[in-house]
Copies of this chain bind each other. A is one copy, B any other.
Amino acid sequence: MLEKIEHIGIAVKDLEKSEALFNALLNQTPYKREVVESESVQTVFYQSGPNKIELLQALAPESAIAKYIDKKGEGIHHIAFAVDDIVAELARLKDAGFQLIHETPKEGADGKLIAFLHPKDTNGVLIELCMDKNK
């Protein structure tokens, strides 16, 4: 089951500048900053009630975030839904005809197991499923 929007990921060019902007917007500072080496991204996370906002800046030109910004500009990169059982949910969605970018979950930022669906099946919206690793 997709339980809620866990976070929204926003691709930014200049994290320092964007952080100042989101600090002002959300009236708070990030609760976490984390480099995800496997994705070549620097991230910061804000809490917004039950949801999070993740800003992502590429650390290398081959990063998916760098490629996204080259193609579409800065903006919302993905929506992540919290799931109670990521393996079961991936199986359900595959059976329903969705194309999976990751057939099995991988480690993501913020202590999560994650997997992405292919945006061609989801109206151009890149959708992530995520589950707490210690669940």
Contacts and interface: CB of A to CB of B under 8 A. Distances in A.
A125 B119 CA distance: 18
Interface residues of A, number: 39
A50 interface: yes
B48 A81 contact: yes
A98 B25 contact: yes
A27 interface: yes
Interface in A13-37: 18, 21, 24-27
A27 B49 CA distance: 24
A96 B48 contact: no
A124 B8 CA distance: 14
A127 interface: yes
B2 A123 contact: no
B8 A73 contact: no
Contacts of A4: 48-51
A3 interface: yes
Contacts of A82: 49
Q: Which 4 pairs from chain A and chain B are nearest by CB?
A: A4-B49, A75-B124, A5-B51, A74-B124
Interface of A: 1-5, 8, 10, 12, 18, 21, 24-27, 48-51, 72-76, 79, 81-82, 92-93, 96-98, 117, 119, 121-125, 127
